[in-house]
Amino acid sequence: MSQPVIVDAVRTAFGRRQGALRETRPDDLLAFAVRGLVERSGVMPEQIDDLIAGCVSQAGEQGANIGRLAVLLSGLPTRVAGVSLNRMCGSSQQAVHFAAQAIAAGDARYVIAGGVESMSRVPMFLDVTLGRFEFTGFEALNPALRQRHALVHQIESAERIAEHWGLSRADCDAFAKESHRRAHAAAEAGRHREVLPTPGLDADGRPITLVRDEGIRAVLDEARIAAMAPVMRPPGQGVVTAANASQISDGASAVLLADEATARADGLTPKARFRARVVVGSDPVMQLSGVIPATHEALRRAGIGVADLDWIEVNEAFASVALCWAREFRPDLAKLNPWGGAIAHGHPLGGTGGALLAKMLHGLEATGGTLGLQVMCIGHGMATATVIERV
């Protein structure tokens, strides 16, 4: 069996909703990340067999198989295939898993995996709202689903998680502030080697280059954070606010995977190998708690414990998700999202999985670490988890 490895991984800087990347089409954004990955890695474009792209709202500018469209826009040879998938927030992490599986099976030698979401140009849920730009509920879903399961919004699930694990509003706000603090410190120190300088526009429409994530706040208005009303529950009765949830963002990621023997023969140096690749289903009402069983399974397959990890990325869809994970596993908190997370840098749904992997890979290199875990909660009750070992 072939040994899949990660040769390199990059991402765009993330833009705020209607921010610097508001005029950049998502297919162009993904193509930009792909070109940057090819240039940085040194792989010959004609060697690439496939591109697997994660994207959640596959409608409008993100429809018509954005994976293949990105191949055509990027300048890769037309023989390079492209496919799109939707495992919701875990989409581009799943794309990496599928790419690794194709290489392990001997079906491909080089595969680019990644994803994209322009939440400015293609609003979340556009694929289930029949073209309406406002989400009004789950009317488009099969009524039988609501008879079998009490479908709730993810924000409600985040609230229920906070209740179950005894997490307060103060806990969630404190976590959010620390996310911004860490993200700002990493950006100021120039840690993010995975970020491609990304062309965009300033507020007046003038061209700029975004070299850091637009959502990171250097200074926080703590009084304003404390005064924010819960998003879905009455004041004083909920913990989830806009300040302690992930930011709606625009961005893309791209990861180059290869058969190890082929990469080394071609003069490329692998950066990491896989110790575990996991996807699990979980309760669709508490839906975001799937990060816990996914982590247990990933650690079991990798034959390690939490204490063996040097870097941990738990996607900050909501502060309560990362905090419930921490309550269960009791990690060294300095290793949990060391450069901040989606609360600070944003969460472009289909692009985040590949981006977190890229961040973790470069974080392990920067700190001399060896083992990293990435885990992401997913709508309808699922989670993806990856353990990598730096080589």
The catalytic site residues sit at 89, 347, 377
Look up residue 307 and give its two tokens: 């204490």
117, 121, 119, 123: which is closest to 55 by C-alpha? Answer: 117
How many beta carbons lie within 10 A of that of residue 263, not counting itself? 25
What string of DSSP letters covers 4-34? EEEEEEEEEPPEETTSTTTTS-HHHHHHHHH
Kindly compute the dihedral angle of the four CA atoms of residues 97, 98, 101, 103, in this order, to the nearest 10 degrees: -110
Residue carrying the six token digits 């529950």: 233
Q: If you ran DSSP here, which 8-state letter would residue 153 be given?
A: -
How many beta carbons lie within 10 A of that of residue 206, not counting itself? 8
| Opening angle at CA 354, ends 349 and 358, nearest 5 | 135
CA 26 to the chain's CA centroid: 15
Q: How many angstroms separate the first and last alpha carbons of the chain?
A: 19
